[in-house]
């Protein structure tokens, strides 16, 4: 039998602001949905067209999560059949500079990958030089 678990006598530290911010963006496709909503209001079908690789089920789940986190507003349209339009909240718009910075890094990654491959090729051929 193991030793009993003792209660901690210290209060946990306050949550890290970075962790809180990253929590807003968690979930597959969340940043893509935010990106496409940054251009203005979009309906569900328009978002499905904008992001063809996402399934309807995942898009629906992501929109609900982003709405719960306060990043997206859902506005019901008075149409037949009923429809909804999604827009970014002010908090959602505040995330755009961070998302744009991540995109800029993503554009640099192919160059980094090419340089690393070149270095790896050089290293492997250096070890196989004829005597």
Q: What is the pLDDT of residues 44-54, one digit of tens each?
A: 999 999 999 99
Q: What confidence tier does 127 reach under pLDDT thresholds 50, 70, 90?
A: low
**CA-to-CA dists, residue 98 to 30, 62, 71, 72, angstroms:** 13, 19, 14, 17
Which has the higher per-residue pLDDT, 126 or 11?
A: 11
Task: Walk me through the domains of the chain, giving residue ranges and CATH numbers.
Answer: 20-125 (1.10.10.10)
State if pTM tops 0.85.
no
Indicate the Cα dihedral angle 69, 88, 93, 22, nearest 10°.
30
Q: Which residue has the tokens 């969340």?
A: 30
Q: Give the mean pLDDT of 63-85.
A: 95
In contact, 100 and 38? CB cutoff 8 Å: no
């Amino acid at each position: 039998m193991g030793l009993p678990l003792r209660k901690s006598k210290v209060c946990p530290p306050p949550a890290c602001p970075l962790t809180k911010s990253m929590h807003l963006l968690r979930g597959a496709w969340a940043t893509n949905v935010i990106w496409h909503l940054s251009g203005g209001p979009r309906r569900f079908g328009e978002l499905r067209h904008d992001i063809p690789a996402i399934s309807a089920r995942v898009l629906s789940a992501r929109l609900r999560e982003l709405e719960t986190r306060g990043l997206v507003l859902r506005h019901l349209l008075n149409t037949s059949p009923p429809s909804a339009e999604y827009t970014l909240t002010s908090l959602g718009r505040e995330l755009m500079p961070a998302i744009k910075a991540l995109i800029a890094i993503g554009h640099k990654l192919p160059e980094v990958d090419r340089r690393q491959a070149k270095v790896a090729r050089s290293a492997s051929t250096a070890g196989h030089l004829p005597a």
